Amino acid sequence: MNITMKIKSLHAREILDSRGMWTVEAEVKLADGASAVASVPQGKSTGSSEAAALPAEQAVRGIEKTIAPKVRGRSFADQAAFDAFLNGLDGTANKKRLGANAVLGLSIAFLRACAEAKGMPLWRHIKEVFEAGFGDTTDAKRGSRKKAHPLPRLFMNVVNGGLHAGNNLHFQEYLVIPKTSSLHEAVMLGTHVYHELGQALARSKGKAALNIGDEGGYAPDFKDDAEPFRILRHVIESLHYERSIDFGMDAAATDAKLAEPALGDFYKNFIKQFRPLYLEDPFGEEQFTDFAAITSRYGSTADAGVWIAGDDLTTTNVRRMERAHAEGSVNAVIVKPNQIGSVSEALDAVRAARRYGWRVVASHRSGETNDTFIADFAVGVGADGIKLGAPARGERIAKYNRLLEIEREIR
């Protein structure tokens, strides 16, 4: 299909995210009439190597005053050409001039407008762009892992701690990961566990335990950092879901205020007692060697053992991923487009992960909008997992519903 990817206009505005913080919403209109809007999430727990986000007012002003006059009326061959042009306008290594939030908002809106012009779902357009970027069919085949079904597993955050809550937990996310043959069934199991957990916490800790953190997980105080999993195991056993739920955790250890040997002792006991599928950022963002040690011990292959994932360690940045690969630091990686600041660079990160044989988990942020892009992105790149927070609040539910809609489109 011959698509005219000529920019008619660009616009931007400030909107509020889920934490009441200002963020960027961008709109791209193509000359053929297709148009799309995208809004940009923001993180509270951020790696120091993430691309720079500017204050929303400044980012919007940059779109209107600097980017729009240079892009209006210009044609682009594809997504990579559009993103490269924006990065060239910025001219810095970490987008500190125009802001990763400005560039990403336009990048996603352009991607959406192109999908609209082609008359196809966004996830399918992303799949085409992703596979085309490998350069040859061998790499393209390597880029798509064979799975029981084409949709990612849900990594549902049911208890919040760390920077995402005001409780006494050192660690940031306590996850349940349903094992099912369909996404619809995974959502049913996950939401059932989430609501039953809420009732169990209310009985044992009072109704205030139902208060939630930034990502919708329950956030009361606990006796220790392992108690959420003890309570979860009891809930899951009461529901007879023992064979249908895996555990996972995002330690976000850069901000955990725990050091060795306490961290190592906790992970040893955690893995022995709860047999988790997934452990993210078990050490600080520069501790590549410590990551390598735990990956060697508990996750020696991508298809067996624990998925040891980098987030603050890797920040969706191919250069940091190269180092992690060279040092054997991880066997899985978080991909957050706003960490790097454009769709093309996020796709490059997924391609690199596939070449390394790593699992890929697409992720939301703590400061979210109702934009559902990350759901389409995860399906388009064939991600192994997706983190959307708890099944609570509109900005998270919108993404769960979009995944369900995509499953219907596929089937």
Local confidence band at 1 (pLDDT 50, 70, 90 cut-offs): very low
| Res. 97: pLDDT tops 50 | yes
What percentage of residues in the chain have a pLDDT greater than 90? 87
Q: State the DSSP string of 179-244.
A: --SSHHHHHHHHHHHHHHHHHHHHHHH-GGGG-B-TTS-B----SSTTHHHHHHHHHHHHTT-TTT
Specify whether 190 is located in the same domain as 48.
Answer: no
Torsion of CA 114, 119, 122, 127, to 10 degrees: -90
Residue 125 within a domain: no
pLDDT on residue 339: 96
First to last CA, the chain: 24
| Res. 44: pLDDT tops 80 | no
Residue 129 within a domain: no
Question: How many other C-beta atoms can be found within 10 angstroms of the C-beta atom of residue 396?
Answer: 21
Specify whether 191 is located in the same domain as 157.
Answer: yes
Residue count of the chain, please give it.
Answer: 411
CA distances from 227 to 210, 224, 263, 308 (A): 16, 6, 16, 22
Angstrom distance (rounded) from CA 200 to CA 316:
37
Q: Of 27, 215, 280, 285, which is the active-site residue?
A: 215
205 is catalytic: no
Q: What is the mean pLDDT of the chain?
A: 93
CATH number at residue 15: 3.30.390.10
Question: How many other C-beta atoms can be found within 10 angstroms of the C-beta atom of residue 280?
Answer: 29
Angstrom distance (rounded) from CA 68 to CA 110:
13
Q: Of 95, 336, 387, 399, which is the active-site residue?
A: 336
Question: What digits encode the pLDDT tens for the residues 326-353?
Answer: 999 999 999 999 999 999 999 999 999 9
Question: Omega of the bond prior to 261 within 30 degrees of 0, cis?
Answer: yes
* Lowest mean pLDDT across 89-93, 131-135, 230-234, 374-378: 131-135
Residue 246 bridge partners (DSSP): 177
Angstrom distance (rounded) from CA 106 to CA 104:
5
Residue 2 within a domain: no
Specify whether 101 is located in the same domain as 182.
Answer: no
Measured in degrees and rounded to the nearest 5, phi and psi for residue 132 equal -65, -30
Residue 127 within a domain: no
Q: Rounded to two decimals, what is the model's pTM?
A: 0.95
336 is catalytic: yes
Structure tokens at 288: 């590549």
pLDDT on residue 148: 43
> What's the number of domains the chain is made of?
2
Compute the half-sphere exposure of residue 250: CA atoms within 13 Å on the CB side of its CA. Answer: 36
pLDDT on residue 25: 98
Unique residue bearing structure tokens 């452990």 = 279
Specify whether 39 is located in the same domain as 87.
Answer: yes
Specify whether 258 is located in the same domain as 192.
Answer: yes
Question: What digits encode the pLDDT tens for the residues 358-371?
Answer: 999 999 998 999 99
